[in-house]
Amino acid sequence: MAASSDEMKKYTYRRYKEGDSQPNAWREEIFQASWTHKCPTYVQRTPPCQASCPSGHDIRGWMNIARGIDKAPGDMAWQQYAFYRMVEANPFPSVMGRVCPAPCQDGCNRNEVEDYVGINAIEQYVGDWGLQQKLALPKADKDTGKKVAIVGGGPAGLAAAYFLRQMGHGCTIFDEHTELGGMMRYGIPGYRTPRDVLDGEIQRIIDMGVELRMGTRIGSDVTLAEIEEEYDAVFWGIGAQSGRALPVPGGDAVNCITGVAFLNAFNDGRLQHVAGRVIVIGGGDTSIDVASVARRLGHITTVNESDRPEYVVLGQTAHDVASAAKREGAEVMLITRRDVKDMPAAQKEIEDALREGVEIRGNLAPVGVVMGDDGRAVALRVAEMGEVDGKRAPVPGTEYDIDADLIVSAIGQVGDFSGFEEFDNGKGLMNSDRNYRSPQRPNHFVAGDILRPHLLTTAIGQARIAVDGIDQVLQGADLKRRPKYEGVRFNMLNYLKEHGKELAEQHGEVRGTDDANFAIHNFEDRSANEVIPHDKLFLGHFNYEARNKRDEVHIGADEVLGNFEERLRGYLEEQAVAEAKRCMSCGQCFECDACVVYCPQDAVYKNKKSEQSLGRYVDTWYDKCIGCHICADVCPTGYIQMALGE
């Protein structure tokens, strides 16, 4: 039976009447006093901390665990749950929490309130807890039968081994050193990466079933043809462990060495002292490490010719008299072509170096090395930087000499391609596509400093993407297009399964959730393509809270000699939790109740506890919603968007 016209009027509404041909004013169409045609949707985006992290950490995810919003399954400790969330992206939380310069903190939206969240400090705390509890890394239940050769046992190679074993692929690391770690071991001093911490995090990866061929160099000990015959794919993580020599006249003097060689000799125990006056040229983290190590080593008053530091670095020393002579602090100067405030090294490391007695001079360029009668460098000739013919360059006529016993060049790094020269791109590095596949051969992938010297976390993030490509190739699939923002992102279905909720088992993806019973109404995940900026948050929700800073041991110039103790002191548990609570959970609900409290129509409501899960704390009755925008306006995290109806 057909409904009457009067009855139909109760169910229908016509914005336009017969004969209407022009819309009303735009404001009238969209906004009528206290209502609009829009209703809230719930949109997840990538937080800027994760978008700034080269390894793609789910920082918001493990912050929510630390703060208690995301509860660990069963009786698992929150630290263990956070640890396993961390290592989904990076298997070195303890090391990274100490040495990563934390671009994630630079991107943190909390900077718009008062100060960034101490992401690194929480990562160190959880990483150290994992080592203390001897937590193992997760791996696949069975092997695929495929084998991958990993050339290089540094951060990229070790990360590749970890991700490959998670997928069930066999792998063998080939490394020419006696110990694994690459630049983490041979490039960063032990007072920044304590060796027990580094060894513990490396051992966890080896325990996953990784084969090792130490003291083996591809290209000489084993040919590339032999590798390709035995393995299904090859991962290159050889690093850039050859420093660039100083490109000025006299730069090849015997006591002009590279920063990479200097740190390598120190970290493997050969270098025990330096010359009296050391000049370091650079401005990046390597130059700061060289200068800081030189201050700690100091020089000795009696030096046999064969004990000079340059001979030790070159591996030619016969003996060492350092223990028998008076050791004094070395005079160390770092010069950079940039202004000191523009140096790329981490600001904290610069401040520590200055405090420890390193002199830093900016806007100076090396233009030559002054040689003595014995052919050794006795001074570095520099010129002031300025405008020359419209370009920044050394200014003629401003040259002067700085006395030096040792000159260390930390101006760049290249790889050693002996035995596989075809991979050299002509600049001492390798090339790759966005999947980190080598253009030379289809089953070869590459990551780390050999592409472009950068951060440890960059090498690890590249390795994860490269291994994803290796996995696709080993399965005979075409490489998929990479998302705009890489990273380990919150997955609604995986989360529900992890927490024993079976509502989502019949769903293949989270779309069209307006009538679903497993996800929030009108939930949309845009995190692969969008970052949530600070101007989409309601910053007024957040009170001023000072950052919980890690304790640091500050060493003065008079105390630095021979001091190789770790400078950072990690959080206690209560500090880690308190700092995690400062996280603004950008782009995802953190259950503040603001939308429920301020909705004038009671249209926003909390889900039943039995149906609640992360991201599914509130929902909306759309028959009550009048589109007033208040819930979106007061949402601190930018999770609510007034978009329904557009």
pLDDT digits over 400-457, tens only? 999 999 999 999 899 999 999 999 999 999 999 999 999 989 899 999 999 999 999 9
243-283: per-residue pLDDT in tens? 889 999 999 999 999 999 999 888 888 888 787 899 999 99
Ranked by mean pLDDT, the top range of 197-211, 402-416, 495-509, 605-619 is 197-211
Query: Is the per-residue pLDDT at 13 higher than 80?
Result: no
What pLDDT band is residue 299 in, cutting at 50, 70 and 90? confident
Handedness of CA 168, 170, 173, 179 (dihedral sign): positive
Given this model, what pLDDT does residue 327 score?
57
pLDDT of residue 475: 93
Report d(CA 207, CA 203) in Å as an integer.
6
Return the pLDDT at 367. 96
Which carries the bigger pLDDT value, residue 309 or residue 245? 245
Tokens read off for 138: 């997760």
DSSP states along 454-490: --HHHHHHHHHHHHHHHHHHHTTPPPPPPPSS-S---
Q: How confident is the model at residue 512 (pLDDT cuts 50, 70, 90)?
A: low
- Determine the average pLDDT of the residues in 35-52: 86
Per-residue confidence (pLDDT) for residue 308, from 0 to 100: 66
- Secondary structure (3-state) at 36: strand
Whole-number pLDDT of residue 303: 55
The per-residue pLDDT for 385 is 95
The pLDDT value recorded for residue 153 is 97
Least confident of 35-39, 290-294, 309-313, 612-616: 309-313
Amino acid at 117: V
Maximum alpha-carbon separation in the chain = 113
pLDDT computed for residue 325 by the predictor:
41
DSSP H helices, 475-610, are: 492-498, 573-580, 594-598
- Of the pLDDT bands very low, low, confident and very high (cuts 50, 70, 90), residue 130 is very high
Q: Which residue has the higher pLDDT, 235 or 525?
A: 235
3-state SS string over 76-92? CCHHHHHHHHHCCCCCC
- pLDDT tens, position by position, 536-550: 999 999 999 999 999
Lowest mean per-residue pLDDT among 205-214, 321-330, 426-435: 321-330
CA angle at 227 for the pair 225 and 230, rounded to the nearest 5°:
110
Q: What is the pLDDT of residues 142-181, one digit of tens each?
A: 999 999 999 999 999 999 999 999 999 999 999 999 999 9
Please report the pLDDT score of residue 312 as a whole number.
61
pLDDT band of residue 29 (cuts 50, 70, 90) is: low
User: Which range (38-52, 142-156, 265-279, 587-601) has the least confidence?
Assistant: 265-279
Domains located in the chain, CATH noted = 24-45+491-526+587-646 (3.30.70.20), 147-241+415-474 (3.50.50.60), 244-409 (3.50.50.60)
Around Cβ 643, how many Cβ atoms within 10 Å?
Answer: 15
Return the pLDDT at 553: 87
Residue 32 CB partners (closer than 8 Å, separation 6+): none
Range of weakest confidence among 330-334, 407-411, 452-456, 514-518? 514-518
What pLDDT sits at residue 317? 41
- Residue 90 has a pLDDT of 97
| DSSP designation for 451 | T
Strands 147-151 vs 170-175: parallel, antiparallel or unpaired: parallel
Residue 139: per-residue pLDDT: 86
Is residue 594 within 8 Å of 360, Cβ to Cβ?
A: no
Q: Report the half-sphere exposure of 301 (CA within 13 A, side-chain side).
A: 5
d(CA 43, CA 638): 8
Contact 421, 220 (CB under 8 A): no
